[in-house]
Chains A and B, each alone.
Chain A
Amino acid sequence: MNQRTNRATRTHLALLCLACIPCRVAADDKPAGTLRTLNAHPTVVRLSASNDVQRVVVVVTEESGLTRDVTDLAGFAFSPEGIVEHVGGGLLVPRQAGAAVLTIAHDGLRAEVKIVAANTERSISFRNDVEPVLMKAGCNSGACHGNARGQEGFRLSLFGFDPQMDYINLTRQASGRRLNVAEPDSSLMFLKATAQVGHGGGERFTKDNPLFAVVDRWVRAGLPNDPPDVPTLTGLSILPRACVLASGGATQQTVVRATYSDGTERDVSALALFSTLNEASAVIDSNGRVTAKDPGEAFVMARFGTFAVVAQIVVVADQPFEWPQNVRPFNYIDEAVHAKLRKMRVRPSAVASDEVFLRRAYLDILGLLPTPAETEHFLRDAAAGKRARLIDELLQRPEFPEVWAMKWGEMLRIESSKLGVKGVELYSSWIRDAIFRDVPLDRIVRDLLTAEGGSFHNPPANFFLVETSPTTMAENVAQVFMGVRVQCAQCHNHPFERWTQDDYYSFAAFFAQIGRKRSEDPRETIVYNSGGGEVKHLRTGQNARPKFLGGEVPDIPGGQDRRKVFADWLTARDNPWFAQCFVNRVWAHFFGRGIVDPPDDVRVSNPPSHPELLERLGQKLVESGYDIRALVRDICNSRTYQLSTRVNETNARDTRNLSHATIRRLSAEQLLDAICAVTQVREKFAGLPLGARAMQVADAKTGSYFLGTFGRPPRQTACTCERRDEPTLSQALHLINGPTVWEKIKSPNGRLERLLEAGSQPDVIVNELYLAALARGPTAAERAAAATHIAASKDARTGLQDLFWAVLNSHEFVFNH
């Protein structure tokens, strides 16, 4: 412990020395305009009560972009004095009411903080003081008393979503045995929390902990309940919002501020709950102090009440870093990606070879492998801009919309057990047709959300047959079209997000008035606006009033179709969720992970890797009139998409900054179609003509052992996690021993037999097999090895079959790289 502190201090001092010299010079030469800055957080301090404390942190930003916490080194001067006192560590304590200006000086730099202090004491509040203690100490977590059944008969609401119940259970239940106002020290809660008596949850805090003092003050005040007009929490912020720390021990203190409905503010750092989202790069202690570890990006989260906020911590190696001269952005996507990489001090990989790019583009845009002829044609092309031309060509091919029709099938959960065979056929044709005809995305979603009439006559009406309960419907709509998972909030406030139970039921109310009735054809259902029906809030039992998720309460006259109101809001140009959610899904398809990942789990505690880029892409999509081809064109033409998978020493451990391409297994459908194409043996799916591709299978119920084994989603939920890409033993065995590969290699109609029949020489055949499967010819070493093996075999056919089998089982074939 001691050692670590020493090391940290040493690093600190070393940094300080390094940083000072050029700065002084700079200050002398050009006093203004230097890149080096000093910032205080927050810049305005409002001490709303005499018993409040506010911490100010002082941060230097070096020319290199590195930031350092210099709070303990800086000088604090107040004008006038006597209003506020600095008690060390940046902590400001009010002494009397009034306004003052704090001037902070450090190393020739200055920063100012405006201060307003009040002298009225804040009385203790159960909701605003005690509940946060229960959360910070972990009392009301799901594993402890926050469990729905409580713990040993004592129950608290999960993360304090029901303060009134918590108040009763703490003070009145069990004959008031838990807190003793007559003898506060013998309160059971104290004995338990400080582990003076046996406690299943062990020691939660010691007697000298400020948390203890909060509860003690409340007990000594006689356990008052809050008056009805007690201020409620309206916002939370963490400062500094972003910093760049040197790896291996640099620290940064954070400050968490809460705002309340009465306009007051408070430093709640002592009561907030801290956690890191990437332990390898940065950790944060229970006081909000961040310590940098290995280079990388980490977000640290502070939770307080129903709010959660994050700060970005970039940890970099404190070594000289140079951006390679030859790396220049191809388009705006690269600009955003490179900006982040520079900040992270990571060099991107080189651009991939034509062979690798070709195979990747075919698989991602069309779901297919290039044929040997296409490969040879592309590789021979020596003209400039051939990659851009290829992308344009591929975007016009009919296989492109099929990829997205399949994605939509997954999002909309098209399968016959709920919709019937005919429903699936009509519904999937409708969506495929819409994409073929370039119907803009917002139109498609509007048509779905407001569909009325028979499910056969108007196929988008099937949207309302997959789920019928308003709450499940709302969950799916939020997840599919907004990328938000609100399921938790059905039973309790979302623990890491702002969604409350109120939000959940108010959102579900949009889907409360959907009528469904049988048509003349018993297989068909007619969907209509029933104009009646409500969703009841689970806790209050009241009818929930429709409210946009994260938006306002619209004024909806009785009987008006609530779905239309919602669809208008969702597809409006300024809707913050819709375009970004869709862009992110497309992004995830081309890079194997979303800018927010998983793409349908947008939340504060799962921040985007490139927020500005996501915003930009969303804007572009809206501006282009929701043109998916334009979006894909931009993505594929970026240098970032065309990167090699080969890493350098700076980006080997990077997984989220797009510094190199990632290796992805072909999806179940891609792999089966690829095997069919390479072997030239067609597959037969139930209900589809021979030779239909797996990508064209509309119904998830269509049986296929191969597709099931390789993780085709059953479309039972709207979650992107349904598609599984982790390797399994049965996948490996199926490729090695299973009928799909071997039967197709041996098939008399297959590529190998046809080539043999045509009398091709083995080396020609080897070349074609490599081109078909790997989009490249064999290397000299591979040619030699193949020739040796064929010569050693019983006959050329056996040798070539072995070789073909080996190629189809190679990682290079099974993966998109």
Chain B
Amino acid sequence: MRNRGGSRHLGLLATVGLVVFAAAAAAQEPKPADKPPPAKPVQAQPAPPQTLDQLLDALSKMDPKQLNEHLAKLEAAHKKLNDEAAALRNQLKSKEAQAAAVKRRIDMLKILLRPAGDAGKPAPKTAAAPVKSKPSPEPAPQKMAEAKAAAPAMAAKTPKPAPMTTPPEAKEPSVQLVNYEQHVKPILIENCVTCHNPDKARGGLIVDSFGTLMEGGSSGEVLSAGDPDGSRLWLLLNHEEKPHMPWKQPKLADAQLKVIRTWIEQGVLADADSKPQKVARAGMAPVDAVPSPRVASGGAPLPVTAPKQLAAPTARPTAAVALAASPVAPLLAVCGTRQIVLYHAETRAIVAVLPYPEGTVRRLQFTADGLWLLAAGGTAGKQGIVVIFDVASGQRVAELEKQYDAIPAAAIDPYRELVAAGGSNRVVRVHDLLTGEVAYEIRKHNDWITAVAFSPDATLLATADRSGGLFVWEAETGREVHELRGHAGAVHDLAFRPGSDALASAGEDRSVRLWNMDNGKQIKRFNAHGGATLAVDFAPDARLTTGGADGVVKLWNPDGGGLRTFEPLGDWVYVARFLERGKLVMAGNWAGQVHIFEAETGRRVWQLDTNPHPDAQVALGD
């Protein structure tokens, strides 16, 4: 008994001693700001064994009785501090609750006291990264036209006179817009208020007042004015996202859903006096093109001495799952069976054929300077490898990450220093190309790694898995920066926004989500496709392109507004990438076809496949 008590005391004392020592050691070190960040991951604090010895030595010299008294004092102090901390925590909690209640009341008052002219101002403010004050690319009149189109359906439901009785020359304001008080609130009261009332407030959401509804629930805002597909309320009610609402009850009637959708599209107006606002879409503005870090001066890199010998064509083309465009040269890389074919984007000639005897390529990426090409893949279930090719010579610069399964996810950083790769082993391994060693491993994923990407400024690494796991790490050290929660099901593709301030992720749940890299919050989500969204890419001006299981490729403006749907490819689109600095979009499907579209006109300008015939090459010439 005594013995056990004694050792416990000793342990406590040792801990206290160590902490004291660590604090002293930290004080002696220069402040972090004084020093450039270390090049390698920081080692753990060196353990001070000699100090422990000294401590034990000192302890052994002390009078046991004195020691025990001292310990008792320390323990008492420790307990007291703990108690105080607990009390403070409790206080804090109740204060927070009070503050929330007060805030809610103030918001309600604000709405009640609001001057009539101000009524329709949408409440939400997004936590977006700095948004440039460019005008919205979507012209307002078009929005108005949509609103008008939706209005007649509504008019029949309102007590106001039917449109027929309205003189045709009536002025614009006579169009009845959907608003919260008259149209939406009754629906919410009927279907939702049992749970989402001020007393119960399930999920932190209260729907019986405009203010509280706009405030959102515990997982954030539920409405995005003008953007139903980015509004959680709509997605849950329309059973596009889970939990489906109303909870364990049938979906709302189509007419009711239409009211809610129209209301959001028209800018979530509070009441009949609210004026339709120009919809301020949550989201992102275009960015100026970011210059590539190390563009080789004196011409863009193109293959010079690389081989051009095509392998014999296979009976059928392999699925076009990997495509890449050189950021600096008119060059595109297309996956094939046991080879990668490089085409000149302007002459359309095959300019190099890089052998990949390990199997099928599943991921291609040019470095930012266009000098190297990364290819990852292999033979499913058998072998996998990441190869770095020198574009000019076609030589293999490096072979990394040899595994026993094909590697679906790999990326190289813009400075050509780090390569990250992962797959069915559920581990992301980051290789340092300068030392040839493994810099670090990420073992936080619980399922197969599906996508990895480095930010254009090389500071961040994003990694995703088959169960919706999505993380952002400090590229150099592997320290966790953000965990991005939201995707239900696999994340299929990742792309950083030029400027590195946001990340786009595409998932099995059909959604494309934009994440703020400053705070890890979701800025925006939209359902891009009728099935899983399998591919996403950014243009230098931050427009997006996506491809999906519905066989369609789409073009989006930087805030997720749809710009164009290209001619369908007829089968699952696994990859969609910008080409020629955003002028062209290329996409590949399961049947092995690669279609290249002009972004501006939507015209298909070129079609090729993953199984080029050697004779066809002669015909094209080089």
Contacts and interface: CB of A to CB of B under 8 A. Distances in A.
B337 A153 contact: no
Contacts of A325: none
A175 interface: yes
Contact of A176 (B315, B359, B590): B590
Nearest to A220: B315
Nearest to A190: B381
Contacts of A197: 381-382, 404
B194 interface: no
B222 to A, nearest CB: 25
A192 B574 contact: no
Given A175-B362, A220-B315, A182 B382 contact: no
Interface in B336-381: 337, 359-360, 362, 379-381
A186 interface: yes
B319 A186 contact: no
A182 B360 contact: yes
A580 interface: no
Given A153-B447, A172-B572, A175-B574, A182 B316 contact: yes
B321 interface: yes
B568 to A, nearest CB: 15
A191 B404 CA distance: 13
A183 B448 CA distance: 24
A178 B380 contact: yes
A183 B314 contact: yes
A176 B321 contact: yes
Contacts of B318: 180-183
Given A153-B448, A171-B590, A172-B572, 8 more contacts: A175-B319, A175-B321, A177-B362, A180-B360, A181-B319, A183-B314, A184-B315, A188-B381
A192 B424 CA distance: 15
Contacts of B574: 175-176
A317 to B, nearest CB: 52
B382 A172 contact: no
B319 A176 contact: yes
Contact of A172 (B315, B404, B408, B549): B549
21 contacts: A153-B466, A172-B572, A175-B319, A175-B321, A176-B574, A177-B362, A177-B406, A178-B380, A180-B318, A181-B315, A181-B317, A181-B318, A181-B319, A182-B337, A183-B337, A186-B379, A188-B380, A191-B380, A192-B381, A197-B404, A198-B381
Contacts of A176: 319, 321, 572, 574, 590
A172 B590 contact: yes
B382 A186 contact: yes
A739 to B, nearest CB: 49
Interface in B484-522: none
B611 interface: yes
Interface residues of A, number: 20
A222 interface: yes
A191 B319 CA distance: 19
Given A153-B447, A153-B466, A175-B408, A182 B380 contact: no
Contacts of B611: 182
Contacts of B381: 188, 191-192, 197-198
A197 B592 CA distance: 26
Contacts of A178: 380
Given A176-B590, A191-B381, A182 B408 contact: no
Contacts of A184: 315
Contacts of B447: 153
Nearest to A188: B380
Interface of B: 314-319, 321, 337, 359-360, 362, 379-382, 404, 406, 408, 447-448, 466, 549, 572, 574, 590, 592, 610-611
A182 B314 contact: yes
A484 B18 CA distance: 72
Contacts of B379: 186
A27 B288 CA distance: 102
Greatest chain B CB density within 10 A among A177, A180, A188 is at A177
A220 B315 CA distance: 8
- Please report whether the interface of chain A is mostly helix, strand, loop or mixed according to DSSP: loop
Interface in A165-221: 171-172, 175-178, 180-184, 186, 188, 191-192, 197-198, 220
B398 to A, nearest CB: 24
Pairs of residues from A and B, 4 with the lowest C-beta to C-beta distance, nearest first: A182-B318, A188-B380, A197-B381, A182-B314
Nearest to A153: B466
Contact of A181 (B316, B404, B408, B572): B316
A102 to B, nearest CB: 40
Greatest chain B CB density within 10 A among A175, A220, A222 is at A175
Contacts of B404: 197
B376 to A, nearest CB: 12
A305 B359 CA distance: 36
Interface in A369-399: none
Contacts of B360: 180, 182-183
Contacts of A175: 319, 321, 362, 408, 574
Contacts of B321: 175-176
Contacts of B549: 172
Nearest to A222: B316
Contacts of B408: 175, 177
Contacts of B466: 153
A153 B445 CA distance: 14
Nearest to A178: B380
A219 to B, nearest CB: 9
A178 B315 CA distance: 18
Interface in A553-580: none
A182 B590 contact: no
B487 to A, nearest CB: 15
Contacts of B406: 177
Contacts of B448: 153
Interface string A245-285: 00000000000000000000000000000000000000000
A136 B84 CA distance: 68
A183 B380 CA distance: 12
Nearest to B571: A172
B367 to A, nearest CB: 23
A186 B466 CA distance: 23
Given A176-B321, A182-B611, A186-B359, A191 B382 contact: yes
Contacts of B380: 177-178, 180, 186, 188, 191
Interface in A658-714: none
A149 B376 CA distance: 29
A191 B359 CA distance: 14
A709 B518 CA distance: 67
A188 B381 CA distance: 6
A620 to B, nearest CB: 48
A180 B592 CA distance: 11
Contacts of B316: 181-182, 222
A715 B610 CA distance: 65
A184 B380 CA distance: 12
A153 B316 CA distance: 27
Contacts of B319: 175-176, 181
Nearest to B317: A182
Contacts of A180: 318, 360, 380
Nearest to B466: A153
Contacts of B362: 175, 177
A183 B611 CA distance: 12
Nearest to B447: A153
Contacts of A222: 316
Nearest to B362: A175
Interface string A98-137: 0000000000000000000000000000000000000000
A176 B611 CA distance: 16
Nearest to B610: A182
B559 to A, nearest CB: 29
Contacts of A153: 447-448, 466
A184 B362 CA distance: 17
Contacts of A191: 380-382
Greatest chain B CB density within 10 A among A176, A178, A186, A197 is at A176
